């Protein structure tokens, strides 16, 4: 198992809203790693849409994903691609 971290910026003009949070949870659930998201001095489990939304992350927010598992790098790449988009998924 490996633990990896990724810091990135939210590019979506609406921030991390329900559709984006749902997509994050879907991505994480389809991989074999546990992932946390940290931002706004709080953190959340990435399989919980409500926990992700509770962070209230807006455009240009800096977030840190931490993944622990055998496909940690793969899941972090997918999350980075999602947050880099400026349109809804």
Which domains, and CATH codes, for the chain?
2-84 (3.30.1340.10)
Indicate whether 1 pLDDT > 70: no
Q: Is 22 exposed, middle or buried (0-12, 13-18, 19+ CB in 10 A)?
A: middle
> What angle (nearest 5°) sits at the alpha carbon of residue 20, between those of residues 16 and 12?
55
By three-state DSSP, how is residue 65 classified? strand
Q: Under 8 Å CB-to-CB from 77, ≥6 apart: which residues?
A: none
pLDDT in tens, 39-85: 978 999 999 999 999 999 999 999 999 999 999 999 999 999 999 88
pLDDT the model gives residue 5:
97
pLDDT at 4: 96
What is the pTM (predicted TM-score) of this model? 0.93
**Res 85: pLDDT:** 84
């Amino acid at each position: 198992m490996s633990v990896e971290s990724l810091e990135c910026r939210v590019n979506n003009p609406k921030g991390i809203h329900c559709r984006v949070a749902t997509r994050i949870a879907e991505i994480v659930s389809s991989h074999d790693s546990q992932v946390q998201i940290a931002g706004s001095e709080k953190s959340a489990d990435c399989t919980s849409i409500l926990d992700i939304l509770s962070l209230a992350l807006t455009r240009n927010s800096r977030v840190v994903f931490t993944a622990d598992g055998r496909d940690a790098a793969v899941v972090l790449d997918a999350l980075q691609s999602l947050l880099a988009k400026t349109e809804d998924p």
